[in-house]
Structure formats: C-alpha cells, structure tokens
Amino acid sequence: MNYEGQGRIAKVMNCVVTDGTGMRVSVYVSGCQFHCPGCFNASIWSFNNGTLYTEQQLENILALIDKPYISGLSILGGEPLQNLAVIRPLITTFRQRFGTTKDIWVWSGYMKEYIEHTPELSFILNNIDVLVDGPFVQSLYKPDLKFRGSINQRIHYLSHI
C-alpha cells in the first residue's frame, strides 16, 4: 500500500465551523482509494486532483491558522492517510509553530485499530487531537450526526482538548 499519495491538495477552506469544534482551517487532500458508495467527496477521489503541495502553500495554511479566532486545523479528503506526503509536514510544522495551543482533527476511512498497528501510520495518533475514523457506509447514513456521515464512524478524542 502506498500511503504517501501524490502530494496534492484539492482545497483549503478558512473559518469553517462544521469540521470540528470552534472556527477552523480545513485542508482537503486529493485522492482516496476507498471509493465508499455515496461518498460526499467523490469528486476528489483522484490523486491528480487539485494543486501540488508546496512549502509556500504550507506557509499560507499556517498563516490562516495563526489567528486568535482560529481553533485549529482539520484534515479531510480524499483520504489523509493515503496522503502522508502532505499531512506529515503539515502536522509536524503545525506542532512546531503552535504546540498544543491549537488542535488538529483528522477524518480517515481507516479504523483507529488499523492505524495503531501500521508502522507508517501510527505516528499520527500521537500528534493529533481528534480522529474521526471508518469508511462512510451509505446504509448507516444519518443526516443529523455531528462530524460524521454514518453511525459506524467513531470520534476518538486522543488528547485532553
């Protein structure tokens, strides 16, 4: 399995209030191999979507986050854990800049148990605050779930935020 991806970002959204708690900056990475039927973000399944992630783009994202009214960073997709080339430097630099004064939420189609037992991925659990895990399952869809699409998906609070 290639967890690195093609290093591309589909979109960055500022001042988002639906992707976690508080007002946030949301980064949507390009590419997901899960292809869950009914996925809301099927338009960015392709790893060739969007723009190439650069150090300048990283700085632009951090500048958006570096505002007193921004609570943190949300990373969605696409599949963040099939895009380590993007999210590894993003998370590492975020922590160097902001420490634990702001938080990181990640949405992944992988279950937390899989992430824990995959050496390439497990670092993520020590460096983010909230993981929303599991694939979207259309038959388990509920419209009023907070931060999730289907009831099989779980919210793991990994730190005391």
At its nearest, how many Å lie between ligand SF4 and the CB of residue 111? 11
Token pair 């980064």 is found at 27
Q: Where along the sequence are the contacts to ligand SF4 (CB under 6 A)?
A: 32, 34-36, 39, 41, 77-79, 109, 135-136
Report the residue number, 70 or 87, with the smaller CB distance to ligand SF4.
Answer: 87
At its nearest, how many Å lie between ligand SF4 and the CB of residue 142? 14
Q: Are 15 and 34 in contact (CB under 8 A)?
A: no
Report the residue number, 102 or 148, with the smaller CB distance to ligand SF4.
Answer: 148
Q: Are 59 and 25 in contact (CB under 8 A)?
A: no
The residue of the chain with the least Cβ separation from ligand SF4 equals 109
Q: End-to-end alpha-carbon separation of the chain, Å?
A: 32
Report the residue number, 3 or 98, with the smaller CB distance to ligand SF4.
Answer: 3
For 60-140, strand residue ranges (E) read: 72-76, 103-107, 130-133
Where does residue 48 rank: exposed (0-12), middle (13-18), buried (19+ CB within 10 A)? exposed
Report the residue number, 25 or 132, with the smaller CB distance to ligand SF4.
Answer: 132
At its nearest, how many Å lie between ligand SF4 and the CB of residue 99? 29
